[in-house]
Chain A
Amino acid sequence: MTVAKIDLEKLQEEAMALDKPEPILVTYWKRLRRHTLAVVSLFTLIAIVLGVIFGPIIMNQMTYFNVQKGEYVNYGRDIQDLASQNASPSAEHWLGTDELGRDVLYRLLIAGRLSLTISFAVVLMRETFGTFLGSVSGYYGGKTDTFIQRLTEFIIVLPSLPILLTLASITREIRIPIIPAEWTQAVIIIVILSALGWTGSCRLSRAMVLSLRNQEFTEASRALGMSNLQIIIRHMIPNTLAPIIVSATLGLGGVILVESALSFLGFGINPPVATWGNMLQDVQTDMLTAPWKAFFPGFFILTSVLAFNYLGDGLRDALDPRLKL
């Protein structure tokens, strides 16, 4: 019997070849794929995003018969059709029309652009800021920590709704150059919501960092000569990312809801600029006669909030190398 010779070097090379570095995103995708609900949510969100970007563009090429004008016109949010107010869904208006005879589907898609932009922008800003500040606070401890935590508490105790209302009405007249007038309010809302909303992720990341900084790998990094900032960026923040991503995705839905509430109260984005929130304004009266006006914006809010949550859940598992899926 002959014994096969084992060429260790060759085995090593083969192992290296087999173990080619897979792009990290591919790994994440493979892991995310096992979370069915998250994948469904991801595709739902992609569909919503593509829909709100391209939907209005396509619809602008399509025409319908405007009863009031007695001619075929493009779908467009400013085109009213008082002759067919609160029309139920039909071949011409898939999701019906509102009290001014405007196409609900078109307005929903346009509104989605703004609502999603606002929520992404707010969450991105406040999570970034909050995570960084929280990591600094937890890592340095002492006076820095005390100062940042007192600041956080100060912002938390501020009654947010009155502040939002006040700020929104104070800043109503502000016009920011460059940005189109109809987006100015959106920018202001983004700034206000970010400025008041970073406290959650700040506390979350601080709590994580408090336990991380006492672990030996932090000390090892210091022994290797890394600066505090490098340690925070390379070790602290990546390790806090899992809960931050979950809180961010939960937050995405939350921002849509807050923006809806503000707009509903008339302090957010004002008509005729549409958001999912302000489309729900004044629909109570028509709930029984034209339920599509309430149902579809509500459905979009619900769907996207739910999808963000499930996606966040899936991402948390996918991004954590410790969890074996």
Chain B
Amino acid sequence: MAEEMNANGDNGQSGDTRRKVIIQVNELKKYFPVRSGLLQRVSAYVKAVDQVSFHIYEGESFGLVGESGCGKTTVGRTILRLLPATDGEVIFDEQNIFDYNSSQLKQMRRDMQIIFQDPYSSLDPRMPVGESIAEGLKVHTKKNSQERFDIVVEMLTRVGMRADHARRYPHEFSGGQRQRIGIARALALRPKFIVCDEPVSALDVSIQASVLNLLKELQADFGLTYLFIAHNLSVVEHFSDRVGVMYLGKMVEMASRENLFRNPLHPYTQALMSAIPVPDPTMKKKRVILEGDVPSPLNPPSGCRFHTRCPLVFDRCSQEEPPFKDYGDDHYAACWLLEQGESTRLPGLTWLSERKEAQLKSS
């Protein structure tokens, strides 16, 4: 689909010239000040997102993974200007969204929407869901209440709910239904780009699949682009076209799904992969167990942020920060071993290809 929408101008830095970049994030930084003492002076910064760069092609779904606290949600919120960025730029429609004036920002709000993680707090408990869905229409269009209601009904049916649900309150619905309502709200303005902030991680596994399939259908029908934030690698593998892996506020690897899951370059990605459960009890699994905890983002390690836990660490890692660059086929990573042309393969890892085979066998 994305291939069909041939670019009128590739404004990204990627080597793939066929596809149009819809969002280009350059060296995005988000520091949260930590205040302490009597005068509440800023004593330190939590570097939640530190110089993250990536791009998303039109019509694709870009997965962003990493463990909790690595800054992936912050990236999502900053891109939507729900949080002010400390530094960096986000190019949308050939313009930096941080330079938008208020009317441009309003237009941007129509084009970019978000679906939240927690279906219980993402709907106003005192507002009938129909009104919640119609809220964006109220702000951005001059439609009267009947026209708004028609759109609400259309959206509700589109996400698999009934029209008469519009007048009910959020507490009358289950988690999965609420998530569908949240999706309807995001869709009502017909955005181009949606940040899905762990949209299924709060849901029951049996519901997860149906919501994911709904998101896929909607993507095809409305020509949406997703930034899909998740910590469940299986979900990302199922859902995303390209995947970025974050660790402690940094992007460590970014590649197409196939490349990333078949040939993970960064040691951290490999360790993550080895943690994916395989539904085959007979299969012997070797896992890479990372030692220690994630360091504090208040005081991140020098050089490569992963060097404190990396099994392949050597001197240079703690001294200099590895560049995040393309190692061929749009496969980005940040590791000194790659830069020096050496192998980053972790010893003793059960390879994904084998696991895939095992999966196929078991199914």
Chain A interface (Cβ < 8 Å from any Cβ of B): 12, 15-16, 18-19, 21, 215-217, 219-226, 230, 234-235, 238-239, 241, 321-322
0/1 per residue, B182-196, Cβ < 8 Å to A?
100100010000000
Set of chain A residues within 8 Å of B27, measured between Cβ atoms: none
Contact of B135 with A221 in the complex, beta carbons under 8 Å? yes
- A220's closest neighbor in chain B, by CB? B122
Verify A230–B124 contact, CB threshold 8 A: no
Binary A-proximity of B103-140 (CB < 8 A = 1, otherwise 0): 00110011011101110011111110000100110011
User: Are A225 and B126 in contact, CB atoms less than 8 angstroms apart?
Assistant: no
What are the nearest 5 A-B pairs in CB distance?
A225-B109, A224-B136, A216-B122, A215-B121, A216-B116
B139–A225 CB distance below 8 A: yes
Q: List B contacts of A216 (CB < 8 A).
A: 116-118, 121-122
CB-CB < 8 A to A226: which residues of B? 135, 139
- With A220-B185, A224-B135 as given contacts, are A321 and B162 in contact (CB-CB < 8 Å)? no
Nearest-Cβ distance from residue B306 to partner chain A, whole angstroms: 31
Count of B interface residues, CB-CB < 8 Å = 34
Instruction: Name the residue in B109, B112, B118, B126 with the highest tally of chain A Cβ atoms < 10 Å from its Cβ.
Output: B126
Residues of B within 8 A of A322 (CB): 125, 169, 171
Provided the pairs A19-B167, A238-B126, A321-B126 are in contact, do residues A223 and B80 lie with their beta carbons within 8 angstroms? Answer: yes
A16 and B125: CB pair below 8 A? Answer: no
Does B164 have its Cβ within 8 Å of any Cβ on chain A?
yes
Partner of B139, one of A12, A230, A235: A230
Q: Give 13 A-B pairs besides A19-B164, A224-B136 with Cβ atoms closer than 8 angstroms.
A: A15-B163, A216-B117, A217-B124, A220-B122, A220-B123, A220-B132, A221-B124, A221-B135, A223-B80, A225-B106, A235-B127, A241-B126, A322-B125
Cα distance, A241 to B126, chains bound together (Å): 10
**Residue of chain B at shortest CB distance from A221:** B135
- Bound-complex Cα distance A226 to B109 (A): 9
**Residues in chain B near residue A223, CB distance under 8 A:** 80, 82, 109, 112-114
| Chain B residue at minimal CB-CB distance from A324 | B171
Please pick, from B114, B127, B135, B169, the residue contacting A219 in the complex, using a CB distance under 8 A.
B114
Q: How far, in angstroms, from A261 to B126 measured CA to CA in the complex?
A: 39
Q: How far is the CB of B90 from chain A (nearest CB, A)?
A: 15
Q: Who on chain A is nearest to B171 by CB?
A: A322
**Within the complex, which residue of A215, A222, A230, A238 is in contact with B82, where a contact is CB–CB below 8 Å?**
A222
Asked if residues A235 and B109 are in contact (CB atoms below 8 Å), the reply is: no
The listed residue (A16, A18, A224, A241) touching B163 by CB distance below 8 A is A16
Q: State the Cβ distance, B76 to closest chain A Cβ, in Å.
A: 11
* B169-A15 in contact (CB<8A): no
B126 proximity list for chain A (CB < 8 A) = 238-239, 241, 321
Q: List 6 A-B contacts (CB under 8 A).
A: A16-B164, A217-B122, A217-B123, A223-B113, A224-B109, A321-B171
Query: Are the CB atoms of B121 and A224 closer together than 8 Å?
Result: no
Distance of A26 Cα from B109 Cα, bound (Å): 37
A213 CB, nearest partner CB in chain B, Å: 11
B residues near A (Cβ < 8 Å) are 77, 80, 82, 105-106, 109-110, 112-114, 116-118, 121-127, 132, 135-136, 139-140, 162-164, 167, 169, 171, 182, 185, 189
Bound complex: CA A255 to CA B312 (Å): 74
**B116 touching A220, Cβ below 8 Å:** yes
CA distance A15 to B162 in the complex (A): 9
Q: Which residues of B contact A219 (CB under 8 A)?
A: 77, 82, 114, 116
Nearest chain A CB to B38 CB, angstrom units: 14
**Contact across chains for B106 and A321 when beta carbons are under 8 A apart:** no
Contacts of A16 in B (CB 8 A): 163-164
Residues from chain A with a CB closer than 8 A to the CB of B169 are 321-322
Closest B-chain residue to A319, C-beta based?
Answer: B126
A15 to B171, CA, bound (A): 19
Alpha-carbon distance A15/B153, docked complex (angstroms)? 13
Partner of B110, one of A18, A221, A225: A225
Q: How far is the CB of B334 from chain A (nearest CB, A)?
A: 30
| A321–B172 alpha-carbon span in the complex (Å) | 9
The distance in angstroms between the C-alpha atoms of A217 and B163, with both chains bound, is 22
Q: How far is the CB of A27 from chain B (nearest CB, A)?
A: 10
Contact between A217 and B121 (Cβ–Cβ < 8 Å)?
yes
A222, closest chain B residue (CB): B82
**Interchain CB contact under 8 A, A220 and B114:** yes
Q: Please, how many angstroms separate the alpha-carbon atoms of A241 and B122 in the complex?
A: 19
Q: How far is the CA of A216 from the CA of B109 in the complex (A)?
A: 16
Least Cβ–Cβ distance between A7 and chain B, in angstroms: 14
Q: A222 to chain B: which residues have CB within 8 Å?
A: 82
Q: CA of A221 to CA of B132 in the docked complex: distance in angstroms?
A: 9
A238 to B185, CA, bound (A): 20
Of B116, B135, B162, B169, most buried by chain A (CB within 10 Å of CB) is B135
The residue in A217, A238, A239, A322 that gathers the most chain B C-beta atoms within 10 A of its C-beta is A217
Query: What's the Cα separation between A223 and B121 when bound, in Å?
Result: 15
Chain B residues with Cβ below 8 Å from A225 are 105-106, 109-110, 136, 139-140
B77 proximity list for chain A (CB < 8 A)? 219
Closest B residue to A215 using CB positions: B121
Nearest chain B CB to A61 CB, angstrom units:
48
Name the contact of B124 in the complex, choosing from A18, A19, A235 (C-beta under 8 A): A235
Bound complex: CA of A216 vs CA of B171, how far in Å?
15
Q: How distant is A246 from chain B, measured CB to nearest CB, in Å?
A: 16
Contacting residues, chain A, for B185 (C-beta < 8 A): 220, 224
Give the residues in chain B near A239, CB-CB below 8 Å.
124-126
Chain B residue nearest to A16 in the complex (CB): B164
Q: What residues on A are CB-neighbors of B117 within 8 Å?
A: 216
Give the residue name and chain of the B residue nearest to A323 (CB). B171
Contact B163 A12 (CB under 8 A): yes
Residue of A whose beta carbon sits closest to that of B168: A19
Contacts of A234 in B (CB 8 A): 127, 135
Closest to A20 in B: B167
Beta-carbon nearest neighbor of B121 in chain A: A215
What separation, in Å, do the CA atoms of A219 and B116 have in the docked complex? 9
Closest-by-CB residue of B relative to A11 is B162
Q: Once the chains are docked, how many angstroms separate the CA of A253 from the CA of B333?
A: 69
